[in-house]
């Protein structure tokens, strides 16, 4: 999407370790108009795929996922990265190594919110080594749900994630 490419060129900052900082419109401050346009783009791209639900990982996947869910008129579920008193059992879980934080988190989704009838669209902010998406694929597998598509705001195609997920 040209609007996104222009915005990355204008506001993005490349940090050591091939990390792109886009805190002014995606990872800290959020530009709702840009996110809405991302949502329209994803909704249009996956319009023939009979999506029943959007899944993402907190926190930076939530904005584009909600905008996509709004456009497609389907619910949005975000996997939690931290344990919560209100989320203790009946969970699907997967371990995810974070490229930017260099830590492993167990992500989880309540089993009531994803099930075998679902056709899921996975949305996330970045695709680097593919760990976050792979974690969501494992959760979809546990739920016996179908993954109908994966939509990523910024794909770092020089890292191995895209190839891994396409396989």
Give the residue numbers of the binding site for 5-phospho-alpha-D-ribose 1-diphosphate.
128-132
How far apart are alpha carbons 27 and 63 in whole angstroms? 9
Q: Does 20 engage in binding with ligand 5GP (CB under 6 A)?
A: yes
Reference 39, options 71, 62, 16; nearest CA is: 71
Query: Do residues 120 and 53 touch, judged by C-beta distance below 8 A?
Result: yes
Helix locations, the chain, DSSP H: 2-11, 32-45, 62-72, 131-143, 161-166
Q: Assess 27 for contact with ligand 5GP (CB under 6 A).
A: yes
68 in Cβ contact with 42 (< 8 Å): yes
Min CB(23)–ligand 5GP separation in Å = 8
Choose between 54 and 132: whose C-beta lies nearer to ligand 5GP: 132
Would you count residue 124 as binding ligand 5GP (CB under 6 A)?
Answer: yes
Q: Between 27 and 106, whose beta carbon lies closer to ligand 5GP?
A: 27
Residues contributing to the site for ligand 5GP (CB under 6 A): 19-22, 27, 60, 98-100, 124-132, 156, 161
């Amino acid at each position: 999407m040209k609007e996104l490419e222009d915005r990355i060129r204008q506001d993005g900052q490349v940090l050591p370790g091939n990390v792109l900082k886009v805190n002014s419109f995606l990872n800290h401050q959020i530009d709702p108009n840009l996110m809405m346009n991302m949502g329209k783009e994803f909704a249009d791209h996956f319009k023939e795929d009979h999506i029943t639900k959007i899944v993402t990982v907190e926190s930076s996947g939530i904005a584009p996922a909600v905008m996509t869910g709004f456009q497609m008129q389907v619910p949005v579920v975000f996997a939690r990265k931290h344990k919560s008193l209100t989320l203790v059992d009946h969970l699907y879980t997967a371990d995810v190594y974070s490229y930017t934080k260099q830590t492993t988190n167990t992500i989880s989704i309540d089993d009531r919110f994803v099930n075998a009838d679902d056709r899921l669209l996975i949305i996330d902010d970045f695709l680097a080594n593919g760990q976050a998406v792979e974690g969501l694929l494992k959760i979809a597998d546990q739920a016996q749900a179908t993954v109908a598509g994966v939509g990523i705001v910024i794909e770092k195609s020089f890292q191995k994630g895209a190839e891994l997920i396409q396989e």
